[in-house]
Chain A
Amino acid sequence: MTKNMIMGGLAVFVLAVLSPFWFNMVTTTQAAPEPELLGPAKEARKCVLDKYDMRANHMSLLDEWRDAVVRDADRIYVAANGKSFNMSLSTGENSCLGCHADKAKFCDSCHTYTSVDPYCWECHTNPKEIE
């Protein structure tokens, strides 16, 4: 193998690895959406964790919740801020969707923006979607 071939290969590799940035340079960017607080969540303004923690870690929290509910049969979460919640994504008033009334404007807007498609919703149906 010649030195040129190696260098050429490296160049192609670097170009390919940086492809998202090239892609970004030739296209325009949308601003990140703000999740909207609607329904009970608007008045409560006190979630399970504080805002930034929640933004960063809600999936880990849900993961913990699901193990607690399914495996340890614990269903109530008394948060560090003293409020207690029903450890459930979609069932009942005191669950995530019970408080955040509008899934589309709260959950989906960010999920779509960040291009994640959590399969939670396949089974944990949004109660509002059922007529």
Chain B
Amino acid sequence: MMEKSRRSFLKVAGIAAIGLGAAPAMNFAASDSQGSAAAVKAKNPDALHAERWGMVILVKKINDKIAKQITHACHTQHNVPDFTHEVDTQKFPDTRPVNHNQEIKWIWKEKFHYAFPDKEDEFLNEKFHHLPFMVLCNHCKNAPCVQACPTRATFSREDGIVIMDYHRCIGCRFCMAACPYGSRSFNFRDPQPFIAETDPDFPTRSKGVVEKCNLCAERLAKGEQPHCVEAAEGAIVVGDLEDPASEIRKLLRENYSIRRKQSLGTEPSVYYIV
């Protein structure tokens, strides 16, 4: 007689059930079955709040070493795959060769004329050509990516963070076409083999979804500063743009700042002070 588990029974049952359609989804009520006090969902009491989160990057304080530190801190702790990482062939046999044009990045350094292509100038002060400009998602107030997304997988949070629901993304990449800053990356393949060490504090992504900087929403929720701020040795400040007393508002009051492609009306929340 054939030895089998409930598993195989259900598999056959499943095959037989094809055509009957999916079972209706369970409707779960947030109260318990005894009808005592209802459950509530709340924010962490230590969470940092802002009316509209923003970032100021003090470009002069960043050199190549700090730039590297920033990218490294963000990417390793968000489990962003590094396609130059040598794959552990024991754990991931048959990993196919990499197309480096399909890379994934959240925050990285660019030369001035790439970060600000509309501000190209042949007589620009020489030193600008060598400064590393950190670029990332601008968490635009009028974000074209949010407008484009057909599933609201990309959306603007109340506090101005443009964030993604990786569970919902269908991978149509409309948002990538819509973003005027090249801030988004697509998981062309399973990222797992290219993550040197998975950080258990943050989920990885699956193949077929888009991803980008989330302004460390998971850290702000615990009352901590974003990874890049911690790694930047004072060169990156994150705070509330709507609060006149905040540090970033002070910086913006006292310095001349620029934003990327301001003329497009997307209202980026990332400011550069040069």
**Partner of A76 from B42, B163, B204 at Cβ < 8 Å:** B42
Question: What is the 8 Å Cβ interface bit string for chain B, positions 195-220, against chain A (1 contact, 0 not)?
Answer: 00110111111100000000001000
Q: Which of A20, A61, A78, A130 has the most CB of B within 10 A?
A: A20
- Closest Cβ–Cβ distance, residue A99 to chain B (whole Å): 15
Question: What is the 8 Å Cβ interface bit string for chain A, positions 72-85, against chain B (1 contact, 0 not)?
Answer: 11111111111000
Asked, given contacts A23-B9, A114-B7, A130-B200, whether A75 binds B167 with beta carbons under 8 Å apart, the answer is no
Q: Does A4 contact B (CB under 8 A)?
A: no
Nearest to B191 among chain A residues (CB) is A123
Contacts of B204 in A (CB 8 A): 122-123, 125
**Partner of A122 from B11, B15, B206 at Cβ < 8 Å:** B206
Q: Establish whether residues B2 and A27, one from each chain, have CB atoms under 8 Å apart when the complex forms.
A: yes
Contacts of A16 in B (CB 8 A): 16
Q: Does B123 contact A (CB under 8 A)?
A: no
For the complex, would chain B's binding face be called helix, strand, loop or mixed by DSSP majority?
A: loop
Q: Establish whether residues A66 and B217, one from each chain, have CB atoms under 8 Å apart when the complex forms.
A: no
Q: Establish whether residues A77 and B1, one from each chain, have CB atoms under 8 Å apart when the complex forms.
A: no
Q: Establish whether residues B26 and A60, one from each chain, have CB atoms under 8 Å apart when the complex forms.
A: yes
Interface size class of B (residues with CB under 8 A): 35 or more
Q: Does B102 contact A (CB under 8 A)?
A: no
Q: Establish whether residues A115 and B14, one from each chain, have CB atoms under 8 Å apart when the complex forms.
A: yes
Q: Does B31 contact A (CB under 8 A)?
A: yes
Question: What is the 8 Å Cβ interface bit string for chain B, positions 12-38, against chain A (1 contact, 0 not)?
Answer: 111110000000011110111110111
Q: Which of A1-45 contact B (CB under 8 A)?
A: 16-20, 23-24, 26-30, 32
Asked, given contacts A28-B3, A81-B32, A125-B198, whether A20 binds B42 with beta carbons under 8 Å apart, the answer is no
Tell me the complex Cα distance, A63–B168, Å. Answer: 11
Q: Does B186 contact A (CB under 8 A)?
A: no
Contacts of B47 in A (CB 8 A): 73, 75
**Partner of A80 from B15, B37, B200 at Cβ < 8 Å:** B37
Q: Establish whether residues A92 and B201, one from each chain, have CB atoms under 8 Å apart when the complex forms.
A: yes
Q: Establish whether residues A123 and B205, one from each chain, have CB atoms under 8 Å apart when the complex forms.
A: yes
Q: Establish whether residues B43 and A27, one from each chain, have CB atoms under 8 Å apart when the complex forms.
A: no
Tell me the complex Cα distance, A13–B220, Å. Answer: 58
Asked, given contacts A115-B11, A123-B204, A125-B203, whether A32 binds B42 with beta carbons under 8 Å apart, the answer is no
Q: Does B127 contact A (CB under 8 A)?
A: no
Q: Does B6 contact A (CB under 8 A)?
A: yes
Q: Does B65 contact A (CB under 8 A)?
A: no
- Closest Cβ–Cβ distance, residue A65 to chain B (whole Å): 8
Contacts of B41 in A (CB 8 A): 68, 72, 74, 76-78, 87
Q: Establish whether residues A28 and B1, one from each chain, have CB atoms under 8 Å apart when the complex forms.
A: yes
Q: Establish whether residues A56 and B16, one from each chain, have CB atoms under 8 Å apart when the complex forms.
A: no
Question: What is the 8 Å Cβ interface bit string for chain B, positions 213-235, against chain A (1 contact, 0 not)?
Answer: 00001000100000000000000
Asked, given contacts A73-B157, A81-B32, A130-B198, whether A114 binds B10 with beta carbons under 8 Å apart, the answer is yes
- Closest Cβ–Cβ distance, residue A44 to chain B (whole Å): 17
Q: Establish whether residues B39 and A63, one from each chain, have CB atoms under 8 Å apart when the complex forms.
A: no
Contacts of B39 in A (CB 8 A): 48, 77-80
Q: Which of B10, B39, B166, B221 has the most CB of A within 10 A?
A: B39
**Partner of B200 from A64, A91, A113 at Cβ < 8 Å:** A91
B residues near A (Cβ < 8 Å) are 1-16, 25-28, 30-34, 36-44, 47, 155, 157-159, 163, 165-167, 192, 197-198, 200-206, 217, 221
A residues near B (Cβ < 8 Å) are 16-20, 23-24, 26-30, 32, 48-50, 52-53, 56-57, 59-61, 63-64, 66, 68, 70-82, 87, 90-92, 112-115, 119, 122-125, 127, 130
Taking A16-B16, A75-B43 as known contacts, 4 extra A-B pairs with beta carbons closer than 8 A to each other, sorted by chain A number, are A66-B167, A74-B42, A77-B40, A91-B202
